[in-house]
Amino acid sequence: MTYEIAISKIPLKKTFFYSSDWELEPGERVLVDFNNRQTVGYVVGLTEPHCGTKPVLERPDGLSFLPTGMIEMVRWASQHFYSPMGQLFDLVIPSFVDEYTEVVVEPTTDLLGLKSLKLKDFLSVYGEETLDTYLKKGLVKLHRFVAMKTPRRRYRDLFVMLNIPLSKAVSLAKKAEEFDVVNYLFSAEGATIERLIEATGVNVERLKKMEEKGLIRFTTVPLFQGFEIKANDLSIPAGQNCGELLVVGGSTEERFRSIYSVLKRIIEEGKSVLYMVPLSSQVPYVMGMIQRSFTADVYAYHGNQSKSQRALAWFNAQKSGAKVFVTTRMGVFLPVRNLGAVVVESDEDESYYQFDEPVYDAVEMARRRAQESRIPIILSSATGRVSDYFNLDRSRIIKIKSERRKIFVIDMRKQTTFVSQELLDQIRSNLEKGNGVLIVVRRKGYAPFVICAVCGHILICPKCDVALSFHRHANLYKCHQCGHIEPAKDICPKCGAQALYPKGYGTERIEKIIRYNFPSARIARIDSDEMNHSQILDRLLEFERGDLDILVGTRVLLHGFGISRIGLIAFLDFDGLLFQPDYNFRVQVFQQLNQGIEMAKGATMVLQSMEVENEVVRHLFTSDTEEFYLKELQKRRDVGYPPYVDLVQVVLESEEPSLGWEIISSCTSSLDGEEIFGPVEHPVFKLRGKYRFHFLIKTKTVERTLSKLDDVLTKLGKKGWRVLVNPPHLW
C-alpha cells in the first residue's frame, strides 16, 4: 500500500509517498528515510501506487492519536494558509508525547507464548535481532502505551482558598501564623501563594501542612465567589444549538451564561468542550466560571504552562468522558477524542493569528474543525469579526442587550498635557465614590521614542527601522520589534550634546503622572512584558477586591470579564491606530473600545482623542456594532477587501537590499493574471537586521493563487519568504 506522508519539522509545503505492508491509520506517526536520515512523518492517508517509493521503516506508536476530522482540518490549513503540513502536525502531536509514553511489544499470535512487554524489557531478554525478525514476520507489533507521569505542582502558579467555613477554620487553627492565613483568606476570598506569603510571612511548607489539616486548599484558578448562573439568563433556543452561532454584546460572563444550557447538554451527553480564549491571562477566569457551573473536569492548555502541565491536558484529551479544555490558539490542535462543541471567546482578537511559521488563523481552523467533526461552534464576542456578519445569517446572531453608554470624548487638540484636566477630575470623582479606575494606554514603557533637543536626532534600533522606547524603571532603551536593549544615556550619538529626552508617553509615564496627582491612591501598572499570566490575574483580583484603586496598562486590561468596581475606564493614545497603512486598524480600534464598554457595565468611558470627528469615534455614540460593520462591509465591497476577496501578503527578507528588490520584482512579474499591489519597501524596511520588501495579492481563489505562488517561489528559492493569508494586520 502507498501512503501520503507529511514530514515533521521541515518547511516544505509538499508531502511525499512511501509504501508499507502495515495498514496505517490516518494521522499515525511513522519513521521514514528522508534525505538519507531517519525522520518522523505523519500519515495523511492512502493514495494511488507510485513507482520507486521508499518503505516506511517503523510504526513508533502503532496507532493514531488524531480524532475524526483533524486530518482534513490540517490538510485544509496547509493549503489555505500556505503552511507546511508536517509542521502543523507537529503542533497536534507535540514532542513531549514521547517523554510520557512507553513502547510495548505486543504478540499478534499465541504461538510464541509471549506476553506484552515494554520494549526495553523485550530487548534485554530477546535482543534486537529477534525483534526485527518477529516484526518482519508479523508475529509482534509495536504499540505506544500512555504512561503519564504526574506533573509536579508549581506552587507559584496556584491560588489558596479556605477549605472549610470560617467558624470551623478558627477552631482548627492552633498557631498564630495559621490564624493570620485564615483571616487573610476570609477577607480576600482567596489569594495567590505569592500574595499570601507577602501579606502573612508564612512559608510554603507551613501552607502544605495547613492543607494536610484541611484548613486550606490549593487550586489553579480562583473560584469566582460571586459568579452564578441565573434562571432568567438568556438561553439559546433549542433549534439553534447546532451549526455556527455568534453571541455578541455583554461581558464574557453574560455571554457564558447565555450559552450555558448548550454546554450543559453537551457535557451531560458525555462529550467534551474546547473553549478558546485569546490570551493565557484569561484562561483562569474561564476555568473559574466553568468549575462553578459544571462537574466536568477542566484542563488548561497554553504556552505559558510547563511541559508536564500541557502533557496532562494533552493525554486527558485522548481519554473518554466529559471534559472542558480552556486554551489559547494552540488548543485548536488539541486532539480531543470526543469533542462535542467549540467555543471561541473574543474571536476578533488578533492573538488568534499565528504570524510565525506555521502560519494559521486559529478561529478559521476552529470553524473548519467543527465543520469536519459536525459539531457546533459558538463565537462569543463583544463585537465579533466583520466577516462574521458577512458569513452568518442574521438568525444565527444572538445579541445581548447592552446598557446605555456613558461616553465622554475629550478633545486633546486643546490640551497641553498627556492627561487632561477633565480626565483627572473624572478620576478624582470616582475615587471619592469608592469606584475603581482603569486607564488603557496603547504603548508600553515610559516613552515610545527618544529625541535630541539640539539636533532632532531620534534613537533608532541598530537592527530595525524602529525608534527605541525608553523604559524608565529599568533605565534602558528597548526595541519592541526585535527585543534589542541598551543602557539609557543622555548624550546624543549624532551631535554629542547632553540633550536626549523621552518623547510621548507609555504606561510607565502615565502611571507616574497619575501617582503625582493622586498620591494617596493605591495604583498598579500591568505590563505583559514583565508579568506572567498569574501575576496579571493577581493584580486584577486585587483590583476587584478593592485593594487597588487604579490600574494602568495596555490592552491586556481588556480581558473581557466584568469587574463591578470599575467606575471609570479611560482610553489614551488610540488615535495613532486610526491612520496606520492597514485597512483593518479602524475596525480594531472600534473593537477594543467596545470591549472596554461591555466589560465595564454602568461605568463611564473617557476617550482622549485629537480625532473627535472621526467616524469610528462617532459610531460609539450613534450606532450598534451591526450598523458599523454593515457600513464597513459596504466600503470593503466597493474597494475589494476581505471578506469579499482573500488578501495575501508576501514578504521577502534579504540581507542585501538590492538583491532583495531584484528577487521580489522577479516574483511579481512571474505571477501572471493575479491582482498585485507592489512590490514596495515594507513600512518597517529593516527588521532584525534584514531588509524587507512586500506586495499584496487580492484573489477569490486563494488556494489556486497560493499554488501558483509556490511554483514561483520554488524557482526563486524559498529562503526568506513569509506568506500571510488575511492577516489581522500587515506584518
Which pLDDT tens digit goes with each residue over 665-714? 999 999 999 999 999 999 899 999 999 999 999 999 999 999 999 999 99
Between these two residues, 597 and 7, which has the higher pLDDT value? Answer: 7
Residue partners of 638: CB distance under 8 A and separation at least 6: none
The verdict on residue 468 lying in a domain is: no
At residue 200, the pLDDT reads 84
Residue 142's pLDDT band (cuts 50, 70, 90): confident
Measured CA to CA, the distance from residue 304 to residue 307 in angstroms comes to 9
**Claim to verify: residue 242 and residue 387 sit in the same structural domain:** yes
**Which tens digits make up the pLDDT trace of 610-619?**
888 887 777 7
Environment class of residue 524 by beta-carbon count within 10 Å: exposed (0-12), middle (13-18) or buried (19+)? middle
User: Cβ(186)–Cβ(162) under 8 Å?
Assistant: yes
DSSP state for residue 412 in the 8-state scheme: G
pLDDT score of 237 more than 90: no
Q: Could you identify the residue written with the cell 495559621?
A: 178
Percent of the chain topping pLDDT 70: 93
Map residue 98 onto helix, strand or coil: helix
Q: Is residue 467 part of a domain?
A: no
Of 146, 180, 206, the residue at which a domain comes to its end is: 146
Residue 428 lies in a domain: yes
- Segment 94-115, tens digit of pLDDT: 988 888 878 888 898 888 888 8
C-beta separation of 337 from 67 below 8 A = yes
For residue 180, the enclosing domain spans 159-219
Q: Which of 78-87, 183-192, 481-490, 614-623 has the highest mean pLDDT?
A: 78-87
Mean pLDDT of 650-675: 95
Residue 23, SS3? coil
| Claim to verify: residue 253 and residue 383 sit in the same structural domain | yes
Q: Based on the fold, state whether residues 410 and 520 are members of the same structural domain.
A: yes
Domain count, the chain: 5
User: Which residues, 6+ apart, have CB-to-CB distance to 571 below 8 Å?
Assistant: 440, 592, 593, 596, 605, 606, 607, 608
pLDDT confidence of residue 227: 58
Output the CA angle 243-586-620, nearest 5 degrees: 85
Separation CA 189–CA 198 (nearest Å):
16
CB 574 within 8 Å of CB 587: no
Q: Tell me, yes or no, whether 459 lies in a domain.
A: no
Would you put residue 351 in left (φ > 0), alpha (ψ -120 to 50) or beta? Answer: alpha
Sheet of 397-399: strands edge to edge?
297-301, 323-327, 272-276, 339-345, 377-381, 244-248, 397-399
Sheet of 566-572, strand order: 406-411, 604-609, 566-572, 436-441, 550-553, 523-526
- pLDDT one-digit tens code per residue, 203-215: 888 888 898 888 8
- For residues 664, 667, 673 and 675, what is the CA-based torsion angle, rounded to 10 degrees? -20
Q: What is the pLDDT of residue 439?
A: 94
Same domain, 72 and 11: yes
395 and 411 in one domain? no
In a domain? residue 313:
yes
Whether 433 shows a pLDDT value over 90: the answer reads yes
Rg (CA), the chain: 28
Give the domain-ending residue among 365, 399, 433: 399
The pLDDT, as a whole number, for residue 534 is 66
Q: For residue 31, tell me if it sits in a domain.
A: yes
Short-list 683, 659, 346, 278, CA closest to 481: 683
| 39: in domain | yes
Task: Based on the fold, state whether residues 329 and 389 are members of the same structural domain.
Answer: yes
In a shared domain, residues 108 and 189 = no
Q: What is the mean pLDDT of the chain?
A: 88
Q: Using one digit for the tens of pLDDT, what is the confidence trace for 478-502? A: 998 898 999 999 899 999 999 999 9
Q: What pTM was computed for the model? A: 0.85
Reported as type and span, the H/E element at residue 43 is strand 37-47
What proportion of the chain, given as a percentage, has pLDDT over 90? Answer: 51
In a domain, 328, yes or no: yes
The sign of the dihedral angle between the CA atoms of 116, 121, 126, 130 is positive
pLDDT at 365 over 70: yes
Please report, for the domain that includes residue 663, its CATH number.
3.30.310.180
Dihedrals phi, psi of 248, to nearest 5 degrees: -125, 155
pLDDT tops 90 at residue 633: yes
Q: Are residues 372 and 428 in the same domain?
A: no
| pLDDT tens sequence across 302-326 | 988 888 889 889 999 998 899 999 9
Query: Is 224's pLDDT higher than 60?
Result: no
- Looking at 188, 219, 250, which one is the last position of a domain? 219
The CATH number of whichever domain residue 522 belongs to comes to: 3.40.50.300
pLDDT confidence band for 525 (50 / 70 / 90): very high
The reply to whether 390 and 425 lie within a common domain is no
The verdict on 359 and 416 lying in the same domain is: no
Per-residue confidence band for 233, with pLDDT thresholds at 50, 70 and 90: low
Q: How does pLDDT run across 26-36, given as a tens digit for each residue? A: 999 999 999 99
Say if residue 537 is in the same domain as residue 680: no
Side-chain-side CA neighbours of residue 353 (13 Å): 13
> How far is 148 from 302, CA to CA, in rounded Å?
19
pLDDT, tens only, 567-601: 999 999 887 777 777 888 888 888 888 888 777 77
Q: Identify whether residues 249 and 359 lie together within a single domain.
A: yes
Give the pLDDT band of residue 235 (cuts 50, 70, 90). Answer: low
Element containing residue 526 per DSSP (H, E):
strand 523-526
pLDDT at position 294 is 86
Mean pLDDT for 56-70 is: 88
**Is 180 in contact with 200 (CB distance < 8 Å)?**
yes
In which band, very low, low, confident or very high, does the pLDDT at 341 lie, cut at 50, 70 and 90? very high
